[in-house]
């Protein structure tokens, strides 16, 4: 009977596969652009301490909760709740997760498309000899255009779909196992280049000196929000990946390793960006321009800039790709398991419909920049609804589901792999999931609702 419900379910082949895939999901544009930027704005070292605290105290337990739901149920993000809580409305968490996947991928693929354009430009050595103003003008001309950004976005969606359609072991696992170590190596090379530039020390101080005067309530909340987004929690990505983890895999150790790897890559990204920004006297708060305008500028002035620019935009594309793969997998797993679609059909349908939504996100910077229903462009709406509303709400509900509904016995059974591993901190995890995580995230959620309306 179980076999009928669950015909030859694909899975990761082992520990390395799941680690590569989950780290691939967590590490993305959020780490490489957003983390250094918000850290710099919120007191550097002091912010870093809070971020680390939230990753360990809240992010990691919620990731573990997602893994445990997925592996217990052996289903997609929506089907998992239907199976574990039949006839109950908990499956709405899965519905929210799928909506969030559509919206996040629609705008994430816009920026991911930009990274391909910049990889292309870097490879063609087109930053060399250009002034700051010229580089900025060329970014404006590119990202407010129509065809070029759209073509790159579509190209990125096609790449994502190709990896997904090959399945879990021969697609996601095979590629992330190769891409993640390459990414780590590339980040190391560029950060070493960056910290050894003359004048890099100021950037290091900016990033690591704990400036407690810059830390207010707001910074605490920003740190919590960054931790959740960066770890890919709150929309069922880790439920879906959890469903592909074998019983012999130690879930708490996996959640710990993924969280540590994500944090290390975020910190290396800070080391890569800030020393270079300060060495060349550039404004660290340049926003999206930090990557697409300022870095080409830095590369054009840097010894060996050509090769470093190619490496940098390659790693940015890789980081984005292993994240978009995890987002599309949420949708594809749902379509193929709940609606009985073939994996290929599900991939084409999912990627195509998200692609259509993505057109609106991409054109928000150009042709549609004056279409702003209720004061936001399509891009800003997709971002706002998914990251600020659906993710925090999803994370609260997943914590509550595991803490109060699934309960300690089942949770403990799952995270100890049926007693195979001794888990001494189940009580602590339960406390976090029942009380600490929902409360803390609720504060962020309410703050963002009030703060940005
Ligand atoms: N964690 C990714 C990043 O830092 O770029 C973004 C992301 C991926 C968020 C997958 C949510 C998700 F489900």
24 phi and psi, to 5 degrees? -60, -40
Nearest residue to 361 (alpha-carbon basis) of 5, 106, 72, 82:
106
Cα separation of 180 and 364, whole Å?
A: 31
More confident residue, 219 or 59: 59
Span 370-389, mean pLDDT? 87
Say yes or no to pLDDT of 213 above 90. Answer: no
Taking the centre of ligand 1 as the mean of its atom positions, its distance from the CA of residue 114, in whole angstroms, is 17
pLDDT at 256: 93
pLDDT at 249: 92
- 326 neighbors 21 (Cβ within 8 angstroms): yes
pLDDT at 4: 40
pTM (2 decimals)? 0.91
Say yes or no to pLDDT of 453 above 70. Answer: no
Cα separation of 71 and 239, whole Å?
A: 7
pLDDT at 2: 37
Q: Which fold has domain 2-452?
A: Amino acid/polyamine transporter I (1.20.1740)
Nearest CA to ligand 1 atom 11: 232
Atom index in ligand 1 nearest the CA of residue 235 equals 13
Span 29-47, mean pLDDT? 79
The single residue listed with the structure tokens 């920004």 is: 277
Taking the centre of ligand 1 as the mean of its atom positions, its distance from the CA of residue 359, in whole angstroms, is 20
Say yes or no to pLDDT of 224 above 80. Answer: no
Distance of CA 376 to the CA centre of its chain: 23
More confident residue, 265 or 2: 265
Band of the pLDDT at 197, cuts 50, 70, 90? confident
Tens of pLDDT, residue by residue over 79-138, are 999 999 999 999 999 999 999 999 999 999 999 999 999 999 999 999 988 887 888 889
Tens of pLDDT, residue by residue over 308-321, are 889 889 888 988 99
pLDDT at 88: 97
Taking the centre of ligand 1 as the mean of its atom positions, its distance from the CA of residue 230, in whole angstroms, is 6
Query: Which of 32-41, 160-169, 197-206 is the least confident region?
Result: 32-41
Residue 395 CB partners (closer than 8 Å, separation 6+):
62, 228, 233, 234, 437, 441
Secondary structure of residue 286 in the 3-state scheme: coil
More confident residue, 44 or 122: 122
pLDDT at 97: 96
pLDDT at 5: 43
Cα separation of 182 and 201, whole Å?
A: 27
Span 221-229, mean pLDDT? 77
Nearest CA to ligand 1 atom 12: 232
Secondary structure of residue 142 in the 3-state scheme: helix
Q: Give 3-state DSSP helix, strand, coil % of the chain, rounded to 5.
A: 80, 0, 20
Helical H segments across 166-250, by residue range? 174-195, 201-208, 217-230, 237-242
Compute the half-sphere exposure of residue 364: CA atoms within 13 Å on the CB side of its CA: 21
Taking the centre of ligand 1 as the mean of its atom positions, its distance from the CA of residue 52, in whole angstroms, is 17
Q: Could you tell me the residue ranges of all domains in the chain?
A: 2-452
pLDDT at 3: 37
Span 237-252, mean pLDDT? 94
Share of the chain above pLDDT 90, in %: 53
Say yes or no to pLDDT of 400 above 90. Answer: yes
Band of the pLDDT at 288, cuts 50, 70, 90? low
Share of the chain above pLDDT 70, in %: 94
Nearest CA to ligand 1 atom 7: 232
pLDDT at 218: 67
The pocket around ligand 1, CB under 6 angstroms, is made up of 25-26, 28-31, 104, 229-230, 232, 235, 237, 323, 326-327
Say yes or no to pLDDT of 420 above 80. Answer: yes
pLDDT at 289: 60
Nearest CA to ligand 1 atom 9: 232
Tens of pLDDT, residue by residue over 253-276, are 999 999 999 999 998 988 988 888
Span 427-438, mean pLDDT? 96
Integer angstrom CA distances of residue 132 from 89, 275, 300, 413? 54, 18, 10, 58
Taking the centre of ligand 1 as the mean of its atom positions, its distance from the CA of residue 331, in whole angstroms, is 14
Q: 210 forms bridges with which residues in the sheet?
A: 44
Say yes or no to pLDDT of 246 above 60. Answer: yes
Band of the pLDDT at 285, cuts 50, 70, 90? low
- 410 neighbors 72 (Cβ within 8 angstroms): yes
Instruction: Report the range out of 136-150, 162-176, 193-207, 215-229 with the highest average pLDDT.
Output: 136-150
287 phi and psi, to 5 degrees? 65, -145
pLDDT at 276: 80
pLDDT at 51: 87
In whole numbers, what is the pLDDT of the chain averaged over residues? 87
């Amino acid at each position: 009977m179980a076999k009928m419900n669950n015909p030859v379910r694909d899975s990761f082949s082992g520990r390395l596969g799941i680690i590569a895939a989950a780290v691939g999901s967590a590490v993305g544009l959020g780490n490489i652009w957003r983390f250094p930027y918000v850290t710099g704005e919120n007191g550097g070292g002091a912010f870093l301490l809070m971020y680390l605290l939230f990753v360990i105290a809240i992010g990691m337990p919620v990731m573990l909760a997602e893994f445990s739901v997925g592996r217990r149920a052996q289903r997609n993000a929506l089907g998992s709740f239907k199976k574990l809580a039949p006839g109950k409305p908990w499956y709405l968490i899965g519905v929210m997760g799928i909506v969030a996947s559509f919206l996040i991928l629609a705008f994430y693929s816009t920026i991911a498309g930009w990274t391909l354009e910049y990889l292309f430009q870097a490879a063609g050595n087109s930053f060399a000899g250009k002034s700051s103003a010229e580089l900025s003008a060329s970014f404006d001309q590119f990202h407010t255009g129509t065809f070029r950004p759209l073509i790159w976005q579509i190209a990125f969606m096609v790449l994502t779909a190709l990896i997904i359609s090959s399945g879990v072991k021969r697609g996601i696992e095979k590629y992330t196992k190769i891409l993640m170590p390459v990414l780590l190596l590339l980040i190391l090379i560029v950060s070493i280049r960056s910290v050894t530039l003359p004048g890099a020390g100021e950037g290091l101080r900016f990033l690591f000196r704990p400036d407690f005067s810059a830390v207010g309530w707001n910074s605490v909340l920003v740190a919590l929000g960054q931790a959740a987004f960066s770890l890919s929690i709150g929309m069922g990505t880790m439920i879906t990946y959890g469903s592909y983890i074998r019983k012999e895999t130690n879930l708490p150790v996996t959640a710990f390793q993924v969280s540590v790897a994500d944090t290390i890559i975020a910190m290396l990204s800070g080391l890569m960006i800030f020393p270079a920004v300060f060495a060349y006297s550039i404004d660290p708060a340049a926003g999206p321009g930090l990557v697409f305008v300022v870095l080409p500028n830095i590369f054009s002035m840097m010894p060996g800039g050509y090769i470093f620019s190619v490496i940098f935009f390659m790693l940015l594309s890789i980081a984005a790709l292993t994240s978009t793969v995890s987002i599309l997998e949420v949708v594809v797993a749902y379509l193929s398991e709940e609606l009985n679609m073939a994996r290929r059909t599900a991939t084409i349908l999912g990627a195509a419909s998200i692609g259509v939504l993505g057109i609106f996100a991409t054109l928000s910077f150009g042709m549609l920049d004056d279409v702003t229903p209720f004061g936001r462009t399509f891009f800003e709406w997709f971002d706002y609804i998914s990251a600020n509303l659906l993710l925090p709400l999803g994370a609260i509900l997943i914590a509550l589901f595991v803490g109060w509904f699934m309960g300690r016995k089942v949770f403990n059974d799952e995270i100890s792999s049926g007693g195979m591993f001794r888990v001494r901190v189940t009580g602590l995890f339960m406390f976090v999931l029942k009380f600490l995580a929902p409360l803390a995230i609720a504060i962020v959620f309410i703050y963002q609702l009030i703060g940005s309306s």
